[in-house]
Structure 1
Amino acid sequence: MLDLNKDNITQVVLERFANTPDPRLKEIMSSLIQHLHGFARDVKLTEQEWAQAIDFLTRVGHITDDKRQEFILLSDTLGLSMLTVAINNDKPEGCTESTVFGPFYVSNAPEYALGDDVANGANGTPCFVKGSVKGLDGEPVAGASIEVWQSDDDGSYDVQKPHLDSMQGRGVLHTDSEGNYYFRSIVAVPYPIPDDGPVGQMLNLTNNHPWRPAHLHFMIKADGYETLVTHVFRRDSRYLDSDVVFGVRKSLVVDWVEQADGTYLLEYDFVLNPSNS
């Protein structure tokens, strides 16, 4: 009969998982067990604290639905999402850098022709966005799919407004034969992540703010190239140095230039990494 105690339980648990057939799953589970047990020992975790942690994670699950992903917010605000991105997107010099996906992406966004207004009625200062999509060797990437999404001037995404009849501030476009893209939208503004749930409570208790700097989301796909998920940030935005989800990368921060008529111009060229497949 096993005589389990605080000194031998970790090894016993590891042996219980030792026959996991999938090598990668075995590696992940073994490391997870060791780190979780090590964490509990390091902080001398009490039973009450562990019960509070379970309650916290339960509330994260309860508030998550098809419109709100609190687990992504939790991963983002702990820096884990950005760490995973950095680990898995170590691209050659010259490629556009990736950043966090975020919780507000929606599939099946409407298709737009180049030059169209993807804001589709979203409130904000008009902005014209243009640039190119090229490969690492400078070749234009024709027909690349570009998905864009952003908040409105109030700092809210369309999925946060259930009364809307159609999607706003998001759409899918395709580059022309020279790899160029251009569309109309609105100027990005800083906004807070949803902080009325358990993640917001965590931020408040740890004296952290919920704000993200102004940015426009991009996801670019093209045959023969790795998919790029990234943002383009406004250089004059607040919170660039304290993004709540740690997503800012220097190469993605650019000027949004005010024009004589009060509108803005954003120019950004993307460089994709060739895929190995």
Structure 2
Amino acid sequence: MSTDTATAAASGASATERFHSDKSPFAAVADTSPERVDRLARKVIEALQQTVREEKVSYDEYNALKAWLINVGHDGEWPLFLDVWLEHVVEEVATEHREGSKGTIEGPYYVPGAPELGSVGTIEMREGEAGTPLVWTGAVTSVDGSPLAGALVELWHADADGFYSQFAPGIPEWNLRGNFRTDDQGRFEIHTIQPAPYQIPTDGSCGKLIAAAGWHAWRPAHLHVKVSAPGHELLTAQLYFPGDAHNDDDIASAVKPELLLDPKPQDDGSVTVDYGFVLDPER
């Protein structure tokens, strides 16, 4: 089976299955008080009710909403929907106290446990992988400037067709996924390819919403990273490339100026970037 047969429903089902297997969402909020649950639930419900009142929502529109919500679940697209349209606000609130590097959303396609490739290494890719070769150097430090040796840099990104391994058929398991450890000076060097912009899946329920609202489905080209070190807060980010047509209107609203790279074209046709991370100590 080739990547050409990938569908939103298949990607959505994979994302939902992965979320259930990798996350323990209820364990993290097991001690949440009934008062907190009541407050949050009421605010969400009241916001929906206010929209109905203000916009004079008809029964036809209400029933269309019900059908669409049911289809989002049927397609397995709740992770996609929430990560595209809500996560960027959750991330903003969760990290507003930080003094170090800016982060952004994780998205639905993270997979833990990628192969470890040292402080200098080449991410796993297919022979003849499409895309411009990219050499990324950087350092991981604490907010006081001290280098963080042995920090973990987890990298994953889409291929030149916009597909992620383990979420589309026909792609090797760890393609364009790898973990790197900083050296004694906190530095790393990663060899990969420059990803391309892509559209989020549009053949499922999220695509129907996008079409009905007259929106576009494009995400700018980006590298996903998670950066961690003992005694420091985990940083999740995406790094973007200047000049991308959708940096200013990303469907996921995840682009920040601090996350833009500064690529340098090389004579051999490759591109180099130098970009590091500053981690906040755990509070």
Tell me the equivalent position of 1:26: 38
Match of 2:130 in 1: 123
Question: Does 1:196 find its partner at 2:203?
Answer: yes
Give 1:105-254 correspondences, 5 Å limit. Answer: 105-121=110-126, 122-254=129-261
Report the Cα distance in structure 2 between the residues aligned to 1:35 and 1:132, rounded to whole angstroms.
44
Q: Contact conserved, 1:146 with 1:221, CA < 8 A, in 2?
A: yes
In structure 2, the residue matched to 1:264 is 271
Over 6 Å off, 4+ runs: none
Q: Whose radius of gyration is greater, 1 or 2? A: 1
Show the counterpart of 1:11: none
SS, match of residue 122 in structure 2: coil
Give deviations 1:168-208, integer Å, cap 9, x for gaps: 11111111121111111001221111111111111112121
Match of 2:179, SS?
strand
Instruction: Identify which of structures 1 and 2 has the higher relative contact order when contacts are C-alpha pairs closer than 8 Å and 6+ apart.
Output: 2
Q: Match of 1:183, as an amino acid?
A: I
Aligned partner (choices 47, 57, 64) of residue 35 of structure 1: 47
Aligned to 2:209, what secondary structure does the other structure show? helix
Deviating more after overlay: 173-182 vs 28-37: 28-37
TM-score normalised by structure 2 residue count: 0.83
Which residue pairs with 1:87 in the alignment? 93
Moved more, 109-118 or 144-153: 109-118
Equivalent position SS for 1:158: coil
Match of 2:14 in 1: none
Give CA-to-partner distance per residue, 1:95-154, whole Å, 9 cap, x none. 111111112111222222232211422432211111001111101111111110011122
1:59-98 matches, within 5 Å, as 59-64=71-76, 70-78=77-85, 80-93=86-99, 95-98=100-103
Paired positions, count? 250
Quick check: 1:213–1:238 contact (8 Å CA) kept in 2?
yes
Q: TM-score, normalised by structure 1?
A: 0.85
**Partner Cα separation in structure 2 for residue 76 and residue 54 of structure 1:** 20
Identity %: 32
What secondary structure does 1:189 align onto?
coil
The 3 A distance-change label for structure 1 pair 196 and 155 is same
What is the distance in 2 between the residues matched to 1:163 and 1:188? 18
Where does structure 1 lack aligned partners over 5 or more consecutive residues? 1-19, 65-69
Answer yes or no: is the 8 Å Cα contact 2:88–2:253 preserved in 1: yes
Paired AA for residue 206 in structure 2: V
Deviations 1:54-93 (A, max 9, x none): 21111111111xxxxx223222443x21111111111444
Aligned CA distance change for structure 1 residues 140 and 37 (closer, same or farther; 3 Å): same
**C-alpha distance in structure 2 between counterparts of 1:128 and 1:165, whole Å:** 22
Structure 2 CA distance for aligned equivalents of residues 123 and 63 of structure 1: 30
Change (3 A) 1:21 1:135: closer
Q: Is the 8 A contact 1:189 1:237 kept in 2?
A: no
> Is the deviation greater in 262-271 or in 114-123?
114-123
Cα RMSD between the aligned structures? 1.7
- Tell me the CA shift for residue 256 of structure 1: 1.6
Superimposed CA distance per residue, residues 20-75 of structure 1 (whole angstroms, 9 cap, x where no aligned partner): 962211221222232222222222222222221121111111111xxxxx223222
Amino acid at match of 1:231: Q
Q: Tell whether the 8 Å contact from 2:165 to 2:172 is kept in structure 1 after alignment.
A: no
Tell me which of 51, 66, 69 is aligned to 1:54: 66
* Deviation of 1:268 (Å): 0.3
